[in-house]
Amino acid sequence: MKKKILIGILISAVIVIVFYGYIYQSHRDISTEAATYSISIPELEKEFTTNDSLALLKYQDQTIELKAQITAVDIENTAIILDNKVFATFNESLPENILPGKTITIKGRFLGYDDLLDEFKIDQSSVIR
């Protein structure tokens, strides 16, 4: 009887540990990850125009790299807009060399497409040098 109780407690402990490990996974550091996709904004638009469901499945929560021209800078929200189509936010303050009209390459986590604003959303962005 005591052996069955001990085995039940051990099995329960293992289940709790596995469940805890699954729920509380460490956060991804996008800046150190290799980009899954390196794509231009027109190519991204074409894929979403062709089949938005398939494109969303392909890119959502993936690390992507984009090269584009900065069209606007929002210092308060640490965000930039690229080619009037991509809204990219940074975790920390914006690098000093971020200026409208400059072409840069960024890497970040693709969140999705906002049809209301007609723009793609990227967060955890970093500038690739």
pTM of the model: 0.77
| Average of per-residue pLDDT across 75-104 | 90
Average pLDDT of the segment spanning 8-25: 88
Domain boundaries, the chain: 31-128
**Architecture of the domain made up of 31-128:** Beta Barrel (2.40)
What residues have CB less than 8 Å from 26, skipping those under 6 apart?
A: none
Indicate the average pLDDT of the chain.
90
CA distance 57 to 45: 14
Helix (H, G, I), strand (E, B) or coil at 90: strand
Token couple for 107: 């890497």
